[in-house]
């Protein structure tokens, strides 16, 4: 029987690629739910093409537009975050692709996990912000979290058949982004259009900026800590400009396993949807002659301070990752509007970490309050 797929964030980069994967394997997958926040036009187009049973537009102001356009298509249309949560907790789907960007994806993902559902997790912020609560819920309900991030998918694949007790460390690879090797005197003049030119990956704007600042790698370290139950000292980062090795797992005997492939998010998406099986595809293959060498080097956390900030936040724990994540979402949005400079993003994140109250053992309510307070404070720091 085919798996029924719900895609939260279907109009984004991960969502559109997930639909491509589903379309390539109509005998294995069918679209059950599609959701978007603002892009009503593309959501309508997707619904008319893939015929899901349910469509959700989380921006309630766009409800009439979507509902009217789909009135004759037999598709149930809902609006608002409450609808995202309700459908995520329901039984209409088999796998939820959690691809809503940022903190906004937490509540619906947690609702699915609370019901013991299978979640293909592309929203790293869910574990960055509330990894303790989410993973405790996974243990309680028996839910399955299958990573979609290329690095975490690589780790997941390398761990198949292995014992976690025999894992020494995991090593996340970073491309280094468009500014690899650059110093602060160069980065001070960087603008959004340059930062969006990633050398290897095609991603959404927010994650592309995070990659350029190395914040993305910091977020991934915290995500890996919770997803794989690791200690802080078991997580490392190495810069790998070719983006062919997607991550390593090192074992207690010194052996290392790596997962390799061309930088294409469709592969980890397909792996997550098909797990525990692998299915054939026509994706381009990595041919060794294309890359005469694969290189690795340490990350420059003095220049790219966001990674250093994230490492310290990971060690600190509590609501510190939540503060960092909220501040980062605000500063990235401001940078994309050319309101602040590239290096100012780190300054503002550090300011928020200093000023927002630290909570050592936060509740879910504390996380939500921390997120709101940080966003409001950080927004006040940014001059229009």
- Residue pair 343/187 in contact (Cβ under 8 Å)? The answer is yes
State the pLDDT at residue 383.
75
Give the confidence band of 266 by pLDDT, cuts at 50, 70, 90. Answer: very high
State the pLDDT at residue 283.
87
CATH number for the domain harbouring residue 100: 3.40.50.720
How much is the mean pLDDT over the chain? 94
**Listed residues 131, 147, 163: the one ending a domain:** 147
Residues 130 and 175 in one domain: no
- Which has the closest alpha carbon to 79: 100, 54, 96, 99? 54
Within a domain: 234: yes
Q: For residue 63, what are the domain limits?
A: 3-147
How many domains does the chain contain in total?
3
- Residue pair 5/35 in contact (Cβ under 8 Å)? The answer is no
Within a domain: 292: yes
End-to-end CA distance of the chain: 54
Give the confidence band of 290 by pLDDT, cuts at 50, 70, 90. Answer: low
Residues 87 and 191 in one domain: no
Give the confidence band of 384 by pLDDT, cuts at 50, 70, 90. Answer: low
State the pLDDT at residue 199.
65
Give the confidence band of 288 by pLDDT, cuts at 50, 70, 90. Answer: low
Residues 30 and 80 in one domain: yes
Three-state SS at 173 = strand
**Listed residues 124, 147, 170: the one ending a domain:** 147
**Listed residues 249, 277, 307: the one ending a domain:** 307
Q: For residue 186, what are its two tokens? A: 């160069």
State the pLDDT at residue 289.
58
State the pLDDT at residue 205.
86
State the pLDDT at residue 201.
63
Q: How many residues does the chain have?
A: 384
Contacting residues for 226 by C-beta, under 8 A, at least 6 apart? 127, 131, 132, 134, 135
Taking residues 155-181, report their average pLDDT. Answer: 95
Residues 45 and 122 in one domain: yes
Percent of the chain with pLDDT over 90: 87
Give the confidence band of 256 by pLDDT, cuts at 50, 70, 90. Answer: very high
Three-state SS at 299 = coil
State the pLDDT at residue 327.
98
How many helices (DSSP H) and strands (DSSP E) are in the chain? 16, 11
Q: Can you give the pTM of this predicted structure?
A: 0.93
Higher-pLDDT residue of 203, 141: 141
Contacting residues for 68 by C-beta, under 8 A, at least 6 apart? none
Taking residues 85-108, report their average pLDDT. Answer: 95
Looking up tokens 């381009």 gives 284
Q: For residue 242, what are its two tokens? A: 């070719």
Does the pLDDT at position 84 exceed 70? Answer: yes
Residues 171 and 251 in one domain: yes
Percent of the chain with pLDDT over 70: 97
Higher-pLDDT residue of 104, 53: 53
Give the confidence band of 318 by pLDDT, cuts at 50, 70, 90. Answer: very high
Helix (H) / strand (E) element for 250: namely strand 245-251
- Residue pair 24/49 in contact (Cβ under 8 Å)? The answer is no
Q: How far is CA 62 from the centre of its chain?
A: 25
CATH number for the domain harbouring residue 384: 1.10.1740.10
State the pLDDT at residue 153.
98
Three-state SS at 207 = helix
């Amino acid at each position: 029987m085919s798996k029924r797929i719900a895609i939260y964030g279907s109009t984004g980069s991960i969502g559109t690629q997930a639909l491509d994967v589903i379309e390539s394997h109509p005998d294995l997958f069918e679209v059950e739910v599609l959701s978007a926040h603002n892009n009503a036009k593309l959501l309508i187009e997707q619904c008319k093409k893939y015929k899901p049973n349910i469509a959700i537009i989380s921006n309630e102001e766009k409800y009439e537009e979507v509902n009217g356009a789909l009135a004759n298509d037999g598709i149930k249309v809902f609006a608002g975050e409450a609808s995202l949560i309700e459908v995520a907790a329901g039984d209409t789907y088999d796998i939820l692709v959690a691809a809503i960007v940022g903190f906004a994806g937490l509540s619906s993902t947690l609702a699915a996990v609370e019901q013991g559902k299978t979640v293909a997790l592309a929203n790293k912020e869910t574990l960055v912000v509330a990894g303790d609560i989410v993973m405790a819920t996974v243990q309680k309900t028996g839910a399955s979290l299958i990573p979609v991030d290329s690095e975490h998918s690589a780790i997941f694949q390398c761990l198949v058949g292995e014992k976690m007790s025999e894992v020494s460390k995991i090593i996340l690879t970073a491309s280094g982004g468009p500014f690899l090797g650059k110093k602060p005197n160069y980065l001070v003049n960087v603008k959004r259009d340059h930062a969006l030119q990633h050398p290897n990956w095609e991603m959404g704007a927010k994650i592309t900026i995070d990659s350029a600042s190395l914040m993305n790698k910091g977020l991934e370290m915290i995500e890996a800590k919770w997803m794989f139950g690791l200690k802080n000292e078991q997580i490392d980062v190495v810069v790998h400009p070719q983006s062919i090795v997607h991550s390593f797992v090192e074992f207690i005997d010194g052996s290392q396993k790596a997962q390799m492939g061309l930088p294409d998010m469709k592969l980890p998406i397909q792996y997550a949807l098909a797990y525990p099986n692998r299915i054939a595809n026509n994706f381009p293959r990595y041919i060794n002659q294309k890359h005469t060498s694969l290189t690795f080097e340490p990350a420059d956390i003095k220049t790219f301070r966001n990674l250093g900030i994230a490492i310290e936040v990971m060690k600190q724990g509590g609501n510190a990752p939540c503060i960092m994540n909220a501040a980062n979402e605000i500063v990235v949005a401001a940078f994309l509007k050319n309101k602040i400079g590239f290096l100012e993003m780190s300054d503002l994140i550090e300011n928020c970490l200093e000023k927002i109250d630290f909570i050592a053992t936060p509740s879910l309510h504390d996380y939500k309050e921390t997120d709101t307070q940080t966003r409001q404070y950080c927004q006040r720091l940014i001059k229009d």
